[in-house]
A = this chain, B = another copy of it.
Amino acid sequence: MNTSSAPTDCTRIRRLAELASYEQASLHAVIDAAYLCHIAFQDAKGTHCIPTACWRQDGYLYIHGSNGGRLTKILTSGIQACVTITHLDGLVMARSAFNHAMNYRSAMIYGCFEKLGDEADKHLALAQFMEKLAPGRQAQCRPGNDKEMAATTVMRIALDEAAVKIRSGGPEDAEEDMDIPVWAGVLPLVQVHGEPIIDSLCSMAAPDYVRNWVR
């Protein structure tokens, strides 16, 4: 399903508006490729930008935190937040300094987080997070006990007010700059999976998600 939501006053992209997308599939792809997001919020001390782990399920982005943490306390108070995810894909080398750019995929989500109050919902959400990190691992490691679960808050924000901005491809120079004798193209940046590092005290054989980690 690739529905779209109309841009709001906050999510309407004005700079380089031709790079904007309000399609659900694009939004989900940007979120699903990420392990972390940056969350902006305001409290009595000012405006803050905090990185935290995230995952998606259906039309929500989820995060979790310690009950005692500032992020948890503030976000569950119902204030407006802005969640941004950015993947940097490359440096774009144009013939003119001014036309240099970056290739990227980014998503911005506006809204308020809600706390998952139901214990079963919380367990399910955390299991889905683990499934994203390491498929099948949830059944292997020790699950959270009552004390650990009680100390953890899971929150989610609806993806209703969101926008995606993507730049890809090579430089776009003006006609009159095309003969400038300088290399032009893209210097790609790629996030790759490195060779798994087994804990020195672990003697277990590597499960699928470890053996398949380096793709």
Residues of A within 8 A of B (CB): 9-10, 14-15, 35-36, 38-42, 45-51, 53, 66, 69-70, 80-84, 86, 88, 90-91, 93-98, 100, 102, 104, 106, 108, 110, 126, 130, 133-134, 137-138, 140-145, 148, 152, 170-171, 177-178, 180-202, 204-207, 210, 213
Contacts and interface: CB of A to CB of B under 8 A. Distances in A.
A83 B50 CA distance: 9
A178 B181 CA distance: 62
B97 A126 contact: yes
13 contacts: A46-B110, A47-B80, A47-B82, A49-B49, A91-B134, A98-B145, A100-B130, A141-B180, A170-B199, A181-B204, A185-B210, A187-B196, A188-B194
Given A42-B42, A185-B202, 7 more contacts: A35-B88, A40-B49, A51-B104, A137-B182, A140-B182, A187-B213, A188-B196
B188 A191 contact: no
Given A47-B40, A97-B138, A205 B183 contact: yes
A175 B145 CA distance: 15
B14 A70 contact: yes
Given A35-B102, A97-B142, A97-B143, A200 B84 contact: no
Given A40-B48, A100-B133, A141-B96, A183 B170 contact: no
